[in-house]
Amino acid sequence: MAAAVAAAAAVDDVVTTCAPAVRIVVTNLEFWQTYVAKSNYEIVTQLRDTHGWRVEPATRLAAILDETPRATLLFIPDAQGKHTRAEMLSAHERIRRHEGPRGVVIDDWHYWRTENEAMMTMCGTVLATVPEHVIANYPRVAKQCRIVDFPHCAASAFASVPFNASPEPRVLLASAPYRFFYPVRSMMIDACKRHGLPGVQHRHPGYERVDGEDACGAGYARRIGQYLCATTCGSRFEMLVRKHFEIPATGALLIAHSGTRARLRRYDIVPGDHYLSFTNELEFVECVRFALDRRNRDAVDRMRTRCREAVCAAHLAVHRAQQVHSLFLREADESDAAARGGDSSSSSSSSSAAATDV
């Protein structure tokens, strides 16, 4: 399957003269501004500043539904379940009856199963970080909704780090070691200690109201770029996390668990060409030793350069914002056609086709 961003870009020239003029992101922007990862904040502000979307808090949801009955609505609940989700659930039936296109971004699959299913079915279009998980575990959603591949991405600060031609020859372990959701992360930390690898652990600072110069954002990006290589893995859902894109965006070599190999390959990011991949502890140790061996430096630098170019070309927040905008131009055009009397089979066929675009 072609990369999600490339697929979205292909609809840029769709006729949009009939699209509703009002497009609204319903989210808590302040939450994303202070959240540990800045990519969602940048996606929302890109939609606002570049593509003309309004940004409204969910506390105004009732007024939004009253004032703009045909607006395009995109809901982005926060990752901790405190904002937007409750307001959506309380207005469930009103959102379902809303005449304009409706979408929701779901990027947290660890909790909120019942709530996530309700939000997806009320919106119709689901932008999912793990679309395969939706299809396999939410059959009602897979049948009713358009499922769009919407992977995580890197914020602009990571791509702004100058390529480091002389990085420290150490491996950065830049992940929170939550053993239940991320069992491989603890293995990597333990393996570095057992095998005497020069590892540096970047402790996770938490999620909200993060302080510290190198805890998140530009300081964190510079810290990754300080080292030759850095590691990450997917969750137990084999989801691509932001670090899969943040690490190579800085120019550091990505060393990633093989559970996400197929998903990275979908975006033409290939082990051996762009990054190093491992399946178990022994392979992890071999990857780190290969990366830090001076005799392999030319090969490592080629991988660093290729992967950085691939991420900066298609997997930054600006690309995800463009994907959203292009997608909902098309959705709005279909909604307008249906309102003018277009037959429902056309809309159903479109949704069915898009559901396979994972």
SS3 call for 315: coil
Residue from 182, 177, 196 nearest 285 by CA: 196
Write down the pLDDT at residue 171.
96
Contacts of 128 (CB under 8 A, 6+ apart): 106, 107, 134, 147, 148, 149, 150
Say which DSSP state 241 is in. Answer: P
Give the end-to-end CA distance of the chain in Å, rounded to a whole number: 7
Query: Which H helix or E strand runs over 256?
Result: strand 253-257
Q: Are 258 and 233 in contact (CB under 8 A)?
A: no
For residue 76, how far is the Cα from the chain centroid?
12
Write down the pLDDT at residue 162.
97
Here the tokens at position 266 are 């979908």
Distance CA 240, CA 177 (A): 16
Q: Which residues pair with 271 in a beta bridge?
A: 275
Distance CA 350, CA 189 (A): 46
Distance CA 163, CA 75 (A): 36
Q: What is the pLDDT along the chain (358 residues), one digit of tens a residue?
A: 444 434 444 434 333 334 447 999 999 998 898 887 899 999 999 999 999 999 999 999 999 999 999 999 999 998 666 678 889 989 999 999 999 999 999 887 766 678 889 999 999 999 999 899 899 999 999 999 999 999 999 999 999 999 999 999 999 997 665 666 677 888 888 899 999 999 988 776 555 555 555 667 888 999 999 999 999 987 677 789 999 999 999 999 999 999 999 999 999 999 999 999 999 999 999 999 999 999 999 999 999 999 999 999 999 999 999 999 999 998 777 666 666 665 443 343 334 334 445 5
Q: Are 98 and 68 in contact (CB under 8 A)?
A: no
Interior/surface letters 268-293, b for 16+ CB within 10 angstroms, e for the rest:
ebbbeebbbbbeeeeebbebbebbbe
Contacts of 288 (CB under 8 A, 6+ apart): 171, 192, 197, 199, 229, 231, 255
On the 0-12 / 13-18 / 19+ scale of CB atoms within 10 A, 210 is middle
Alpha-carbon distances, residue 321 vs 273, 314, 324, 326 (angstroms): 28, 11, 5, 9
For residue 301, how far is the Cα from the chain centroid?
26
Write down the pLDDT at residue 222.
94
Write down the pLDDT at residue 10.
41
The fold of the 156-314 domain, in CATH, is: Rossmann fold (3.40.50)
- The domain spans of the chain are 4-153+316-355, 156-314
Alpha-carbon distances, residue 30 vs 14, 27, 77, 220 (angstroms): 33, 9, 12, 20
Alpha-carbon distances, residue 12 vs 1, 5, 56, 327, 330 (angstroms): 19, 11, 25, 8, 9
Residue from 69, 138, 65 nearest 106 by CA: 138
